[in-house]
Amino acid sequence: MPRRDKALIAVIAACALLLASSTLVNLATQATGILPCASFPALIGPITTTAGACATSQAYLTGALSSAVTMTTAGTFYAGPTVSLTAGTWMLIGSVSLQTTSTASAVEITCKLWDATTTAGAGYVAIGAVASAAVRNEQMAVTGVLVETGSVTGEISCTSNTASQLIEAAPGYTSPGNYASTLVAVRLK
């Protein structure tokens, strides 16, 4: 199994464990003032609304790249996956597939999760130099919480110290489609 797949699985497993924990329920209750229903099975299933009734779903949005994004100029941030957010508190969980173009040089890539004003999370990867030019891939997960007062775009943007690196839309081997760089936003309140 490729290293990027293992990293993504680890992030998903960690989120699943976190979402099932009573600590998250307590934190969510403190942050939102909304108490879970008695039959609360993590964040899936009934949730008490501010009016006191049990809701049966949690609002979420998803976004994915439809094609690869070339980071043409070194030091410039390029938009990866995006979601359109409305006013409220949103937890964003995203992952981007990063690919070096044919180069032997070391490549450094920084990605940030933001709304064009506030950065909610960031990540960094250093892809080491190799003896001869080669294409190399890394998967990066970025998470954060954004509190919005109006409609904005939440996105993962990336930059590289070397021109012409890629944010991939689809994985390279037996691709199931454009799922390599995605962003999920879950409305907390």
Query: pLDDT, tens digit, for every residue of 139-172?
Result: 899 999 999 999 999 999 999 998 888 899 888 7
Within 13 Å, how many C-alpha atoms sit on residue 88's CB side?
Answer: 16
Helix extents (H) in the chain = 3-19, 22-32
Yes or no: say if 110 and 124 are a contact pair by the CB < 8 Å rule: yes
* Position 187, amino acid: R
More confident: 64 or 41: 64
Q: What tens digit of pLDDT does each residue of 43-74 get?
A: 443 444 555 555 545 578 899 999 999 999 99
Domain locations in the chain as residue ranges: 1-58, 59-189
Yes or no: say if 142 and 98 are a contact pair by the CB < 8 Å rule: no
Highest CATH level, class, for 59-189? mainly beta
What value does the mean pLDDT take over residues 33-41? 46
Give the pair of three-digit tokens for residue 35. 């108490």
Within 13 Å, how many C-alpha atoms sit on residue 164's CB side?
Answer: 5
Going from the C-alpha of 9 to that of each of 5, 6, 76, 121, the distances in angstroms are: 6, 5, 29, 19
CA–CA separation, 120 and 31 (whole Å): 16
Residues 6+ apart with CB under 8 A from 19: 42, 43, 44
pLDDT of residue 175 exceeding 90, the answer is: no
Handedness of CA 36, 38, 43, 48 (dihedral sign): negative
Yes or no: say if 129 and 156 are a contact pair by the CB < 8 Å rule: no
Mean pLDDT of the chain: 76
- What does the chain come to in residues? 189
What value does the mean pLDDT take over residues 131-142? 81
What value does the mean pLDDT take over residues 11-34? 45
CA–CA separation, 40 and 20 (whole Å): 10
What value does the mean pLDDT take over residues 3-22? 45
What value does the mean pLDDT take over residues 14-39? 45
Predicted confidence at residue 171, as pLDDT, reads 82
Predicted confidence at residue 23, as pLDDT, reads 44
According to the per-residue pLDDT averaged within each range, which of 12-16, 19-23, 122-126 is highest? 122-126
